Amino acid sequence: MATLLSTPASPAITQNPDIRYLGRLLGDVIRAYGGEKLYKQTEYIRSASVDRARGIQGADVTDTGLAALTLDDTLNFTRGFMLFSMLANLAEDRQGVAAEPGADVASVLERLESHGIGKDAVLDLLAHSLIVPVLTAHPTEVRRKSMIDHKNRIADLMHIKDAGRTETDDGENLDEAIFRQIALLWQTRPLRREKLFVQDEIDNVLTYFRDIFLPVLPALYARWERVLGARPQSFLRVGNWIGGDRDGNPFVQAAQLRSALGRGCEAALAFYMDGVHALGAELSLSTELAHVPQAVLDLAEASGDASPSRKDEPYRRAISGIYARLAATCVALTGAQPARPSSLKGEAYGAPQELRRDLVTVAQGLASEGDGALATGGALGRLIRAVETFGFHLATLDMRQNSAVHERVVAELLRQAGVEADYLALDEYARIALLRRELANNRPLGSRFSDYSEETASELAIVHAAAEAHRVYGPQCITHYIISKAESVSDMLEVNILLKEAGLWRAGADGAPPQAAIMAIPLFETIADLEAAPSIMTAYFGLPEIADVVQARGHQEVMIGYSDSNKDGGYITSTWGLYKASQALEPVFAKAGASMQLFHGRGGAVGRGGGSAFAAIQAQPKGSVQGRIRITEQGEVIAAKFGTRDVAMTNLEAMTSATLLASLEPEGISQHDAARFAGAMDELSKNAFAAYRDLVYDTEGFKDFFRQLTPIQEISGLKIGSRPASRTKSSAIEDLRAIPWVFSWAQARVMLPGWYGVGHALAAFEDKALLADMAQSWSFLKSALANLEMVLAKSDLGIAAQYLPLVEDQGQAESFFGRIREGWGLAHDGLLAVTGQSRLLEKSPSLETSIRLRLPYIEPLNLLQVELLKRHRAGEDDPRIKEGIELSINAIATALRNSG
């Protein structure tokens, strides 16, 4: 039997038998399909790298034969290491590294109980809660869906192995079945050849809804009903940006919005029809044996099902009627017959509530007999929950666009309508006055007879498409409109003006308040905008028509951006700026009489707000959660958190649990401490900001150093998303999107956005005892430091130094790298001192194991990447070089478990 990847070379490897098992099978596959030579080379490089990582003297990875690999060998080798990381991720997820202790609702109820907070308080909170992970198409998922699917099939087979079985359901030998899946993985091309289109992204996200969310959410509620002893309202939803987020993505237009909603509707209805069909088979109760209430008999009668064989089976007849109505709904809403047409004629449902009412009638009928067990548990209860959660639209689709686009479009509309010749020249006061005048009447600015620029025409088309969607699928299909780079009240009023063009904002007649069918939501994403957020929202709420709208709705959302604030001000300043903004916004909302709903725009990597969501939600300032929270889930995080039903249940439950804790658990620190800690954070943030800005924005040449040191240009060529890598042609760091910024630093193992500046701040802070106290007792700092620690542990400046020859000006390279090295040392030493550890991750053994296992697999990939980058940039045009670079990016991202 081959031994690749199974040698007990590292303590971490020996600790996880699944990793050993899967690694051994991967070795067998490489040997069988790649040949003995590749197997031996790979094994040789691997063990040398492991030795080096373990600090074995004389073990130098640069001598391990990497340089001798041919281009073909390099590609195969890289794939092998990537697959190992993929399998290691799988093994780790199975061991529950992803599931955090105490993150299930039952444990949370106990924890709240210990503070005297009972289930009633939890149910009261849930009665007006809204918890929403929102899936976006941010381009950070480097793996093809086919690869992820193979991985998931292996996970399913491993489940069978867990049960102690040696055969699959089909009688196949289990080891052979797993071997075969790995062999398929080995022979599946990891890189996309073709560019992704928005339609591909829509298709991709729909697979998560069909396979995971539609079945999983109702199952979770069933679990929660048991532990709560009551049925909470449906507070958990899954949101979607794909087909609605057009900030910097010119390919998202009205057609894509229509497609996202239309396809979503198809998926929801297909799920309901399958569920109803299955119920028809199940609910065979006969009037001869069961008492059936009149309401069910009426439903059966109305169904038109006159089949003699079902004469005594009113439930089945009622279900046939519901099915017929669903089939008619499908035709009405999607224009297509369902896969399984109905033999009966039914009238289309006008709204999901009507379908729900019929299902509830059936459930109440079942509940009226015996102990009610037939109604509450089981498929019918889950189906009712699904209809409440997913409606006919499947997922609420958010719209998003950049404030600069709205400004231009509104300016053009005003100009063409003869209202204002130069809106862009007006100051903020004049803009607000003008926009309010327009919002006070229902006369649209747009005209069918005007010739608009392409941009304006496209923006108008999309709001009209949104209005049409409201008519077809109901108002829940689009409720949020996010304004990127929001920095003023007029930025929000402009969106209301655009919504008015399609009747989605209506001025109230005769003193009645206006009606806003879609909420305009500012996204504050620079340090300055986060600071200004409370005063901007105060001014917005101060407008009487807005106050009316917000009070009628009862809540308002504000989105806060983690990545861009990090790129702007560095890790700690961003983290603290987000916290302070959330805290300062809370009284503004209270005064306006509206619940605050924060939408956290965060990605997978720490430089983009990544890290444990469970800890991050709990670390929010008290009063800022109030049962309502939305969080983006992006790129590789989607497969990691929702790739299989088990993992999705764990993560959705953790999000819910954290929200309950953040909303209900008393503040863990005294007011006195809160004030002291905030003062200390202000000082840390100020010093970290100064150090970060000085290096990144204020030192001549840093931009070129960054562009040459990291694979930023090559990342832009990856086909991982439909949207272009940058919004503008400018190469300034200010204009770069946050994803490639974070992604490229991660590849070169510097991970600068996750830590730079923190060390300077910690070193300059004199009261070390205060810092230690904060790190111990304050969930905010604990969570921030845990993320910092993870990022420091994944970075490796020894490896990063291998990228230095890529920089043209070596003098400059040395000088910048010297500063980075110094900053890293300060952060490292500062963190250990504050947390009282002698090495990184000393107090986080499972994370330490996970990271240490991976490091030896990443280093050779980095070294190969550097060599390939050198050759590529020197003008060598062998296509295998570019392929190798892209593969290495893929493999490193997989091994680090975060991309950008």
Please report, as ranges, the residues that interact with ligand PGA according to CB under 6 A: 138, 247, 484, 563-564, 601, 603, 608, 737-739
Please, what is the minimum distance in Å from the beta carbon of residue 363 to ligand PGA?
Answer: 42
Written as six digits, the tokens of 780 are 């905010």
Please, what is the minimum distance in Å from the beta carbon of residue 744 to ligand PGA?
Answer: 13
Written as six digits, the tokens of 30 are 């490489």
Backbone angles phi, psi at 626, to 5 degrees: 50, 35
Q: Which is nearer to ligand PGA, 31 or 400 (CB)?
A: 400
Please, what is the minimum distance in Å from the beta carbon of residue 734 to ligand PGA?
Answer: 13
Q: Which is nearer to ligand PGA, 737 or 794 (CB)?
A: 737
Q: Which is nearer to ligand PGA, 239 or 601 (CB)?
A: 601
> How long a stretch of residues is the chain?
900
Torsion angle in degrees (nearest 10) through CA of 114, 117, 119, 124: -160
Q: Which is nearer to ligand PGA, 328 or 523 (CB)?
A: 523
3-state secondary structure of 487: coil
Residues 6+ apart with CB under 8 A from 407: 423, 424, 491, 494
Is 743:716 a contact under the CB 8 Å cutoff?
A: no
Is 473:333 a contact under the CB 8 Å cutoff?
A: yes
Q: Which is nearer to ligand PGA, 564 or 636 (CB)?
A: 564
Written as six digits, the tokens of 787 are 């993320």
The CA–CA distances, whole Å, from 12 to 307, 369, 611, 787, 828 equal: 65, 57, 22, 21, 23
Query: Can you tell me the distance from the alpha carbon of 832 to that of 759, in angstroms, rounded to the nearest whole number?
Result: 11
Spatial CA neighbour of 757 closest among 530, 524, 631, 577:
577
Cα 332 to chain center, whole Å?
A: 33
Q: Which is nearer to ligand PGA, 126 or 896 (CB)?
A: 896
Please, what is the minimum distance in Å from the beta carbon of residue 200 to ligand PGA?
Answer: 18
Q: Which is nearer to ligand PGA, 93 or 564 (CB)?
A: 564
The number of beta carbons lying within 10 Å of the beta carbon of residue 619 is 21
Please identify which residue in the block is written with the tokens 């924890």: 111
Radius of gyration from C-alpha coordinates of the chain: 29
Q: Which is nearer to ligand PGA, 49 or 401 (CB)?
A: 401
Residue 522 bridge partners (DSSP): 483
Is 748:817 a contact under the CB 8 Å cutoff?
A: no
Query: Can you tell me the distance from the alpha carbon of 521 to that of 519, in angstroms, rounded to the nearest whole number?
Result: 6
Query: Can you tell me the distance from the alpha carbon of 552 to that of 128, in angstroms, rounded to the nearest whole number?
Result: 15
Q: Which is nearer to ligand PGA, 473 or 524 (CB)?
A: 524
Please, what is the minimum distance in Å from the beta carbon of residue 738 to ligand PGA?
Answer: 4
Longest dimension (CA), the chain: 92
Please, what is the minimum distance in Å from the beta carbon of residue 242 to ligand PGA?
Answer: 12
- Please give the positions annotated as active site: 138, 567
Residue 130 bridge partners (DSSP): 628
Is 287:247 a contact under the CB 8 Å cutoff?
A: no
Spatial CA neighbour of 145 closest among 217, 84, 92, 196:
196
Q: Which is nearer to ligand PGA, 739 or 750 (CB)?
A: 739
Written as six digits, the tokens of 106 are 């039952």
The CA–CA distances, whole Å, from 546 to 502, 505, 570, 645, 818 equal: 19, 11, 34, 42, 52
3-state secondary structure of 839: coil
Please, what is the minimum distance in Å from the beta carbon of residue 119 to ligand PGA?
Answer: 37
Please, what is the minimum distance in Å from the beta carbon of residue 706 to ligand PGA?
Answer: 17
The number of beta carbons lying within 10 Å of the beta carbon of residue 125 is 20
The number of beta carbons lying within 10 Å of the beta carbon of residue 535 is 12
Please, what is the minimum distance in Å from the beta carbon of residue 522 to ligand PGA?
Answer: 13
For ligand PGA, the nearest residue by Cβ is 563
Q: Which is nearer to ligand PGA, 42 or 899 (CB)?
A: 899
Is 739:248 a contact under the CB 8 Å cutoff?
A: no
Please identify which residue in the block is written with the tokens 């009627």: 321
CB burial of 768-795 (b: ≥16 within 10 Å; e: otherwise) equals eeebebbbeebbbbbbbbbbbbbbbbbb
- Quote the DSSP letter at residue 13: H
Q: Which is nearer to ligand PGA, 567 or 794 (CB)?
A: 567
Is 271:395 a contact under the CB 8 Å cutoff?
A: no
Spatial CA neighbour of 674 closest among 631, 608, 626, 623:
623
- Rounded to the nearest 10 degrees, the angle between the axes of helix 352-367 and helix 378-390 is 160
Q: Which is nearer to ligand PGA, 503 or 724 (CB)?
A: 724
Task: Indicate the burial class of 694 (C-beta count within 10 angstroms; 0-12, 13-18, 19 or more).
Answer: middle
Query: Can you tell me the distance from the alpha carbon of 738 to that of 603, in angstroms, rounded to the nearest whole number?
Result: 10
Please, what is the minimum distance in Å from the beta carbon of residue 248 to ligand PGA?
Answer: 7
State the pairing for strand pair 505-506/515-516: antiparallel
| Residue 638 CB-half CA count within 13 A | 32
Query: Can you tell me the distance from the alpha carbon of 528 to that of 530, in angstroms, rounded to the nearest whole number?
Result: 5
